[in-house]
Amino acid sequence: MGCIAFIGLGLYGLRDISIGAIEYLRRASRVFMEKYTSILPDFKKEELEVIIGKKIEVLTRGNLEEESGEIIIESAKEGNVAFVSIGDPLIATTHISLMLSAIRENIKVLVFPSPSIINGVIASTGLHIYKFSRPVTLTFIEEKYKYYPFTAYSVLEDNLKRGLHTLFLLDIRISENRIMNIKEAVNVLIELERIEKRQIIDEELTIGIGIARSTAPDECVYVDILRKLKEFDFGPPPYTLVIPGLLHQTEIEALNILGKADKEKLLRWNQRIKSSFLGRI
Amino acid sequence: MGCIAFIGLGLYGLRDISIGAIEYLRRASRVFMEKYTSILPDFKKEELEVIIGKKIEVLTRGNLEEESGEIIIESAKEGNVAFVSIGDPLIATTHISLMLSAIRENIKVLVFPSPSIINGVIASTGLHIYKFSRPVTLTFIEEKYKYYPFTAYSVLEDNLKRGLHTLFLLDIRISENRIMNIKEAVNVLIELERIEKRQIIDEELTIGIGIARSTAPDECVYVDILRKLKEFDFGPPPYTLVIPGLLHQTEIEALNILGKADKEKLLRWNQRIKSSFLGRI
């Protein structure tokens, strides 16, 4: 019986892959990779293949979801295999399911942790980890199926009433070639406000922090009211959006330096949080 | 004018250091390290010095806090320097202040992100990132100064009322040789309950998730009511404590497999959250 190593590639090219992971990959009998849930700027699979001296087999969503990663489990019965993904290797719940299936089959599991977008956002914005409440996925509205991501709106409301920051994980559908950008994300939030009318989002007042290619050399961070954020050109993906809660003085300083934020606007936002959200629970 | 790279070592030995970081460290003119806020099991500075071919200068808390990292800033005016820390390089707010000071001085800043304890806890427990509300530091009670960490108690209360998980970052004071273990952490929470009496903590009912050496080969995860957690031997540090909120079926499964949790106890905990906490806001 072999072993499965869950390996993360982090946030940019081959920069974040760990020396522990490289060492394991060089000795692994088979290497699988999943790259349909995220985007890794400047990553070339062939470059990693040269470093580790073997081919990487790319899996589809079907391999992992409908077939529950059976191909990985079966291979691990015969040798030491690796399952590589972008960002942190276990933040996706599908990957945890695969890990548990492996353990149930008496397959040994190793984890090579890597930075996720949460680490990236802290580095890109200077926001305090202690001020982040739960993150939430913001998906595309599917009018055809009458599907609206109301959870994202409710989570934002709940977080703002506590003065806490909300990190939105934006929808990525590689197979459909659809990647939600900051403008689309803002428009989804505005549409949810139009339907729900709970005065959570106001494009002239709500401050948004848009981040593209977090921690990459051409990272882009821009902070402004949502209407301005929609007009800003962030360049290529991946993207993340944060709606901040009550900002600490050092966070205001950081957003000013790292995200070109107007301090006056941030102070007005703090006032609005105090008068319109805090304590309304 | 040079540059400062913020480099994280991740969670275990030299396993998590990235190939990008190694490459930078090999070319850096000076390498500084801070190791008074965290513990990196099985890390030997000398091993890293051999790999990067130069000495690492260890900084004190005084160097970074009272002197605001002046030694790093001054060195970066003359060459490309590195500032290495345990876990993620920017999760500590002191490090963000140093980053901003550097930018204000027109020093270029690079970040080599690394896994933090948040990535570790997800891997060790299988809990969903979407269910974590804000983390909080749990410090020692200092009776002499009448200091009690009431914030931790309030954050836990707020999170439980929303059915969300709370990650406690436990006090580490390397210079005083004091590292809060799981038993001490539980005792602090019990003491806070004794004073506050808001029925948040009950050592016979509250479920705790104790984690030692997250993701290391000898990682230890144990899940039980707090009274049992206090009696459990977790071995050497570092330690983390999570008090879960309402657990999803797959989280119950994961805690059973990864943390030897009794499923019945977890289902009773879910019942208690529903009856005693949810909606009481």
Q: Is the pLDDT of residue B281 over 70?
A: no
> CATH 3.30.950.10 in chain A, residues?
118-277
Question: What is the predicted pLDDT for the residue at A37?
Answer: 84
Write the pLDDT tens digit of every residue in A68-126.
Answer: 899 999 999 999 999 999 999 999 888 999 999 999 999 999 999 999 999 999 999 99
Residue of chain B with shortest Cα separation from A18: B18
* Predicted local confidence at residue A110, as pLDDT: 97
Contact A11 B113 (CB under 8 A): yes
pLDDT over 80 (residue B279):
no
Average pLDDT of the residues in B253-280: 95
- Non-local (6+) Cβ contacts of A264 within 8 A are none
pLDDT interval class at B14 (50, 70, 90): very high
Print burial letters for A49-70: b (CB count within 10 Å at least 16), e (below 16).
eeebebebeebeeebbeeeebe
CA A25 – CA A4 distance, rounded (Å): 11
CB contact under 8 A, B90 and A119: yes
pLDDT at B175: 83
A-chain residues near B118 (CB < 8 A): 118, 129
**8 Å CB contact of A134 and B137:** no
Residue to mutate among B16, B47, B104, with most A CBs inside 10 A, is B16
Return left, alpha or beta for B102; rule: phi > 0 is left, psi -120 to 50 is alpha, else beta. alpha
Q: Do B162 and A158 touch (CB under 8 A)?
A: yes
In which band, very low, low, confident or very high, does the pLDDT at B250 lie, cut at 50, 70 and 90?
Answer: very high
Residue A91 contacts B where some CB pair is shorter than 8 Å: yes
B256 touches chain A (CB under 8 A): no
Residue A90 with chain B: CB contacts under 8 Å: 119, 122-123, 126
Q: What is the per-residue pLDDT for A65? A: 87
Which of residues B281 and A65 earns the better pLDDT score? A65
At A55 the pLDDT is 98
Query: Residue B276 — very low, low, confident or very high, per pLDDT cuts 50/70/90?
Result: very high
- Separation in Å, CA B181 to CA A124, A167, A212, B135, B242: 32, 31, 39, 17, 13
- CB of A279 within 8 Å of a chain B CB? The answer is no
- pLDDT of A164 > 70? The answer is yes
- Residue B261 is which amino acid? A
Determine contact, residues B174/B60, Cβ cutoff 8 Å: no
Q: What is the 3-state secondary structure (H, E, C) of chain B?
A: CCEEEEEECECCCCCCCEHHHHHHHHHCCEEEEECCCCCCCCCCHHHHHHHHCCCEEEECHHHHCCCCCHHHHHHHCCCEEEEEECECCCCCHHHHHHHHHHHHCCCEEEEECCCCHHHHHHHHHCCCHHHECCCEEECCCEHHHCECCHHHHHHHHHHHHCCCEEEEEECEEHHHCEECCHHHHHHHHHHHHHHHCCCCCCCCCCEEEEEECCCCCCCEEEEEEHHHHHHCCCCCCCEEEEECCCCCHHHHHHHHHHHCCCHHHHHHHHHHHHHHHCCCC
CA angle A266, B95, B34 (to 5 degrees): 170
The pLDDT, as a whole number, for residue B156 is 98
| pLDDT score at B37 | 84
Q: In chain A, whose CA is at the least distance from the CA of B105?
A: A257
- CB-CB: which of B118, B129, B158 is closest to A162? B158
Note whether A112 contacts B15, CB cutoff 8 Å.
yes
Cross-chain Cβ contact B130/A132 below 8 Å:
no
Q: Closest partner residue to A93 among B19, B112, B250, by Cβ?
A: B250
Nearest CB to A130 within list B123, B128, B134: B134
Write phi, then psi, for A102 (nearest 5 degrees): -60, -45
Residue A6 in contact with partner chain B when CB distance is under 8 A: yes
Mean of the per-residue pLDDT values for chain A?
A: 96
* Residue A281 pLDDT exceeds 80: no
ipTM value of the model? 0.96
Contact between B175 and B36 (Cβ < 8 Å): yes
The tokens describing B193, both together, are 């309950």
Helix axis angle, B249-259 relative to B263-272, nearest 10°?
Answer: 140
Which amino acid makes up residue B267?
Answer: L
CB nearest to B215's CB, from A111, A116, A257: A111
Interchain CB distance below 8 Å, A22 and B18:
no
The highest-confidence range among A87-96, B93-102, B238-247, by mean pLDDT, is B238-247
Tokens of B109: 């800043």
* Second CATH level (architecture) for the domain A118-277: 2-Layer Sandwich (3.30)
CA A3 to chain centre: 28
Tell me the residues of chain B between 157 and 196 that have a Cβ less than 8 Å away from chain A.
Answer: 158, 162, 164
- Architecture of the domain delimited by B3-115: 3-Layer(aba) Sandwich (3.40)
Span A210-223, average pLDDT: 98
Q: In angstroms, rounded to a whole number, what is the distance separating the alpha carbons of residues A267 and A119?
A: 25
A87 has a chain B CB within 8 A of its CB: no
Least confident residue range of A161-170, B13-22, B70-79, B88-97: B88-97
Q: Measure in Å the smallest separation between the Cα of A43 and chain B Cα atoms.
A: 13
Q: Given CB atoms, is A277 within the 8 Å cutoff of chain B?
A: no
- Picking from A129, A156, A240 by the largest number of B CB atoms within 10 A of its own CB, the best residue to mutate is A129
**Measuring CA to CA, which residue among A66, A84, A65, A191 is closest to residue A139?**
A191
Minimal Cβ distance to A18: which of B6, B17, B137:
B17
The predicted structure's pLDDT at residue A279: 74
> Residue A4's beta-bridge partner residues?
A81, A109
Where in the sequence of chain B do the CATH 3.40.1010.10 domains occur? 3-115
Q: What is the mean pLDDT of residues B116-134?
A: 97
A59: closest CA among A74, A70, A48, A44?
A70
Nearest chain A residue to B93, by CA: A128
- The residue written with tokens 């990682």 in the block is B219
Q: Could you say which residues from 191 to 220 on chain A have a Cβ atom under 8 Å away from some Cβ of chain B?
A: 215
Model pLDDT, residue B150: 97
Mutation to test the B interface, candidates A118, A221, A249, most B Cβ within 10 Å: A118
Test mutation, B18, B38, B117, chain A, max A CBs within 10 A = B18
